[in-house]
């Protein structure tokens, strides 16, 4: 979307009181307990938890692999159970939201473009993520901790309450000892389940089956659900467990023998040739393969709700296979909705200093946590949506502000009220708010024009609404800081606004009578209309008056040509003020430029 002129086709949308788009609102508003998807899952999860473990805390879970910068899209893995857990807490139940840090997973590849990392990190491929050195200059002890820390910071800002579980800590302290020994005793049962899915995709075309989508396979490959993750069958048979080598630390090992009675296990390393025999009843340097590890943990923690991404939910995927394996551990599969992809708009312009991957922390630099929570709360998990880093963020904020106003005056629909409530508070507390939430697009324009001059920004914001002047810039924070960060990091240089230093004498000299008179009318009304509302009235009013109508005439009373005249007039003003045919909204721009300079640039 182009900024500026395109928005001037009608009246500014934040003044029309136009209702929110209605397509996501259920036709029948039900009782508050079931008004949105979050409530409906909460009903289901509470009932299921009562059935499985009466009187026990409800357990929901998320899993994140700190194998590199954690992508903003993966936030859905956390937000979906968070919102459900929060609703359950609001109803007075005790909930544990587990976040499993899958930091005992193998280091698969060196992500590109991460600061402080070069090709030499490839020598660590195959080691647990916690055994890989952190990027150069990081204050953190290892790779996994480095990338986990950024996510933990973002989750705190988002108000997400969770129990973090390091799988490295769990495995290396022997927490899963019984489960590992149990899996080894039942390796034939596990193998039998996995065998059902080992038919290669080449055999696709089986009756009633869709051909395997290549993109789907690629997604599975990248997500850790690759085929190698179900363990390997060597000459000694199938084993669902892999030791990390005692010499080189990598997982390129093969179990060559195992004795159930003594638990003696012998492995050989394919990387360095090392071999040893250990007693699994006291050995802590290895893990269950992914497709067994996941259901083992469902059973161990009693997880009742854990959503998963589309790549984990296809036939033969870890979620489906896990459902067949979890019984071996005496547990049940969680309720596990598949969540759709979350896209990012405006990524092309993002710096690639962090591997070109937008993280939740990047989003929180340009938007308040309430807005980000709302994006997740208002869409059902199976609906995909985009998080805007481009101009769209301004429209999104307008929409949010309209909802906020409707909630305040009681005119919002129940499902919208629910999404709003989930965005602004958790069961524990209200998230910190900006005391004076001025329109984001206004703040962005002011930040754009003032380019870091806070005194000037404070003056302009103080003049927006003379009846209720802003006492200090702090009242507009943190929203102002977010808008400023957006302007500085995501608006390309060629779209930034640069106010002219000197009047465009040539253009001023070439104006026809219509142009000259319009500018004259504007200058005459400037002092009297020096506020956001006043200037809005003035800039729209000038072409009406020129055409012989009252400045107060409504669109219904005016011929359609007025719109063309307004556009022409606005384009002229943009040229005279900033030397282009678009720019920030004119009233904001005029306030930002200041009366004296406006007069100079307009030849007054
Ligand atoms: Zn080795």
DSSP letters of 391-409? THHHHHHHHHHHHHHHHHH
How far does the centroid of ligand 1 lie from the alpha carbon of residue 126, in Å?
10
How far does the centroid of ligand 1 lie from the alpha carbon of residue 248, in Å?
4
How far does the centroid of ligand 1 lie from the alpha carbon of residue 455, in Å?
62
How far does the centroid of ligand 1 lie from the alpha carbon of residue 107, in Å?
15
The span from the CA of 372 to the CA of 328, in Å, is 39
How far does the centroid of ligand 1 lie from the alpha carbon of residue 568, in Å?
73
Give the alpha-carbon dihedral of 404, 405, 406, 408, to 10 degrees.
Answer: 90
Tell me, what's the pLDDT at 87?
Answer: 98
Q: Considering only CA atoms, which of 154, 148, 183, 181 is closest in space to residue 166?
A: 148
How far does the centroid of ligand 1 lie from the alpha carbon of residue 231, in Å?
18
The span from the CA of 37 to the CA of 40, in Å, is 5
Using CA atoms, how far residue 30 sits from 16, 34, 91, 162, 185, in Å, is: 29, 6, 17, 30, 51
How far does the centroid of ligand 1 lie from the alpha carbon of residue 106, in Å?
14
The span from the CA of 489 to the CA of 471, in Å, is 28
How far does the centroid of ligand 1 lie from the alpha carbon of residue 471, in Å?
66
How far does the centroid of ligand 1 lie from the alpha carbon of residue 128, in Å?
13
Tell me, what's the pLDDT at 203?
Answer: 37
How far does the centroid of ligand 1 lie from the alpha carbon of residue 277, in Å?
14
**DSSP assigned state of 559:** -
The arrangement of strands across the sheet holding 275-279 comes to 253-258, 264-269, 275-279
Reading the block at residue 233, the tokens are: 């069958």
How far does the centroid of ligand 1 lie from the alpha carbon of residue 245, in Å?
5
| Phi, psi (degrees; rounded to nearest 5) at 543 | -65, -30
How far does the centroid of ligand 1 lie from the alpha carbon of residue 246, in Å?
7
Please measure the distance between the N-terminal and C-terminal CA atoms of the chain and give it in whole angstroms. 33
How far does the centroid of ligand 1 lie from the alpha carbon of residue 184, in Å?
22
Q: Could you tell me which residues come within 8 angstroms of residue 497 by beta carbon, excluding any fewer than 6 positions away?
A: 445, 448, 449, 578, 583, 584, 589
How far does the centroid of ligand 1 lie from the alpha carbon of residue 274, in Å?
5
How far does the centroid of ligand 1 lie from the alpha carbon of residue 269, in Å?
5
Helices (H), 302-439: 318-325, 360-366, 369-377, 392-409, 414-424
How far does the centroid of ligand 1 lie from the alpha carbon of residue 232, in Å?
17
The span from the CA of 504 to the CA of 582, in Å, is 16
Q: What residues does the ion ligand 1 have nearby, CB within 5 Å? A: 245, 247-248, 269, 271-272, 274
Give the alpha-carbon dihedral of 411, 415, 418, 419, to 10 degrees.
Answer: -100
How far does the centroid of ligand 1 lie from the alpha carbon of residue 146, in Å?
25
Q: Which long-range contacts (CB under 8 A, 24 or more apart) does 185-191 make?
A: 185/260, 186/328, 187/237, 187/238, 187/239, 187/240, 188/238, 189/328, 190/231, 190/238, 190/240, 190/292, 190/325, 190/328, 191/231, 191/233, 191/237, 191/238, 191/240
Tell me, what's the pLDDT at 315?
Answer: 72
Q: Considering only CA atoms, which of 473, 481, 526, 504 is closest in space to residue 579?
A: 504
Tell me, what's the pLDDT at 225?
Answer: 38
How far does the centroid of ligand 1 lie from the alpha carbon of residue 158, in Å?
42
How far does the centroid of ligand 1 lie from the alpha carbon of residue 534, in Å?
75
Tell me, what's the pLDDT at 380?
Answer: 95
How far does the centroid of ligand 1 lie from the alpha carbon of residue 275, in Å?
8
Q: How many CB atoms lie within 10 A of CB 27?
A: 5
Q: What angle do CA 460, 461, 463 make, to 5 degrees?
A: 65
How far does the centroid of ligand 1 lie from the alpha carbon of residue 78, in Å?
35
Q: How many CB atoms lie within 10 A of CB 15?
A: 10
The helix (H) or strand (E) run that includes residue 257 is strand 253-258
Q: Considering only CA atoms, which of 526, 531, 514 is closest in space to residue 442?
A: 531
Q: What secondary structure does DSSP assign to 23-34, as a single string?
A: TTS-SS---GGG
How far does the centroid of ligand 1 lie from the alpha carbon of residue 134, in Å?
21
Phi/psi class of residue 238: alpha, beta or left (left: φ > 0; alpha: ψ in -120 to 50)?
beta
The helix (H) or strand (E) run that includes residue 42 is helix 37-52
How far does the centroid of ligand 1 lie from the alpha carbon of residue 114, in Å?
27
Q: How many CB atoms lie within 10 A of CB 350?
A: 17
How far does the centroid of ligand 1 lie from the alpha carbon of residue 262, in Å?
24
How far does the centroid of ligand 1 lie from the alpha carbon of residue 73, in Å?
35
The helix (H) or strand (E) run that includes residue 242 is strand 241-243
How far does the centroid of ligand 1 lie from the alpha carbon of residue 226, in Å?
22
Q: Could you tell me which residues come within 8 angstroms of residue 257 by beta carbon, excluding any fewer than 6 positions away?
A: 236, 264, 265, 266
Q: Are 310 and 343 a contacting pair, CB within 8 Å?
A: no
Query: Which residues of the chain have a pLDDT value below 50?
Result: 1-32, 202-228, 351-353
The span from the CA of 450 to the CA of 480, in Å, is 12
Tell me, what's the pLDDT at 41?
Answer: 97
How far does the centroid of ligand 1 lie from the alpha carbon of residue 247, in Å?
5
How far does the centroid of ligand 1 lie from the alpha carbon of residue 273, in Å?
6
Q: Could you tell me which residues come within 8 angstroms of residue 273 by beta carbon, excluding any fewer than 6 positions away?
A: none
Reading the block at residue 417, the tokens are: 């009220």
Helices (H), 440-531: 440-450, 454-464, 479-490, 505-509, 513-525
How far does the centroid of ligand 1 lie from the alpha carbon of residue 212, in Å?
36
Reply yes or no: is the peptide bond before residue 478 cis, omega within 30 of 0.
Answer: yes
How far does the centroid of ligand 1 lie from the alpha carbon of residue 579, in Å?
66
How far does the centroid of ligand 1 lie from the alpha carbon of residue 364, in Å?
42
Number of helices (H) and strands (E), helices first, in the chain? 23, 14
């Amino acid at each position: 979307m182009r900024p500026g002129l395109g928005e001037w086709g009608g009246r500014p949308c934040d003044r029309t009181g136009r209702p929110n788009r209605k397509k996501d609102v259920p036709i029948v508003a039900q009782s508050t307990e079931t008004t949105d998807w979050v409530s409906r899952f909460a009903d289901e999860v509470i009932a299921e938890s009562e059935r499985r473990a009466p009187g026990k805390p409800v357990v929901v879970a998320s899993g994140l692999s700190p194998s590199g910068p954690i992508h903003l899209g993966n936030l859905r893995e956390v937000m979906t159970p968070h919102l459900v857990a929060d609703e359950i807490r609001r109803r007075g139940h005790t909930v544990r939201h587990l976040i499993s840090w899958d930091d005992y997973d193998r280091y698969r590849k060196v992500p590109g473009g991460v600061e402080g990392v070069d090709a030499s990190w490839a020598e660590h491929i195959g080691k647990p993520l916690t055994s890989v050195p952190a990027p150069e200059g990081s204050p953190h002890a290892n790779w996994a901790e480095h990338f986990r820390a950024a996510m933990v910071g973002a989750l705190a800002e988002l108000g997400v309450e969770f129990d973090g579980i390091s799988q490295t800590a769990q495995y290396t302290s022997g927490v899963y000892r019984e489960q590992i020994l149990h899996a080894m005793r039942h390796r034939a049962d596990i193998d039998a389940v996995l065998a059902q899915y080992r038919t290669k995709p080449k055999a696709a075309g089986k009756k009633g089956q869709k051909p395997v989508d290549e993109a789907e396979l690629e997604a599975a490959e990248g997500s850790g659900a690759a085929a190698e993750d179900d363990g390997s069958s060597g000459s000694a048979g199938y084993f669902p467990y892999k030791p990390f080598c005692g010499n080189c630390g990598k997982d390129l090992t093969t179990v060559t023998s195992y004795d159930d009675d003594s638990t003696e296990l012998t492995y050989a390393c394919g990387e360095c040739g090392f071999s040893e025999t250990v007693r699994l009843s006291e050995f802590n340097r290895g893990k269950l393969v992914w497709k067994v590890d996941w259901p083992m943990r469902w059973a161990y923690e009693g997880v009742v709700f854990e959503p998963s991404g589309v790549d984990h939910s296809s036939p033969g995927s870890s979620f489906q296979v896990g459902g067949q394996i979890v019984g071996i551990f005496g547990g049940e599969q969680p309720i596990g909705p598949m969540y759709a992809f979350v896209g990012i708009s405006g990524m092309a312009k993002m710096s690639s200093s962090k591997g070109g991957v937008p993280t939740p922390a990047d989003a929180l630099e340009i938007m308040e946590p309430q807005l980000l929570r709302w994006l997740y709360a208002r869409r059902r998990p199976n609906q995909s949506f985009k998080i805007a880093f481009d101009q769209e963020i301004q429209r999104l904020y307008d929409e949010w502000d309209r909802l906020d106003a409707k909630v305040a005056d009681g005119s919002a629909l129940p499902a919208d009220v629910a999404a709003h409530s989930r965005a602004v508070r958790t069961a524990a507390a209200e998230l910190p708010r900006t005391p004076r939430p001025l329109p984001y697009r206004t703040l962005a324009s002011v930040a754009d024009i003032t380019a870091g001059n806070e005194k000037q920004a404070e003056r302009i914001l103080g003049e927006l609404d003379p009846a209720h002047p802003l006492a200090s810039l702090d009242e507009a924070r943190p929203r102002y800081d977010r808008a400023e960060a957006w302007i500085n990091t995501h608006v390309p240089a060629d779209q930034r606004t640069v106010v002219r230093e000197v009047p465009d004498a040539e253009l001023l000299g070439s104006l026809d009578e219509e142009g000259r008179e319009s500018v004259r009318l504007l200058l005459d009304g400037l002092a009297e209309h020096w506020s956001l509302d006043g200037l809005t009235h003035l800039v729209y009013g000038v072409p009406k008056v020129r055409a012989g109508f009252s400045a107060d005439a409504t669109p219904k009373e005016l011929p359609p040509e007025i719109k063309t005249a307004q556009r022409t007039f606005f384009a002229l003003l943009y040229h005279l003020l900033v030397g282009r045919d678009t720019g920030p909204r004119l009233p904001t721009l005029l306030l930002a430029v200041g009366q004296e300079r406006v007069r100079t640039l307009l030849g007054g």
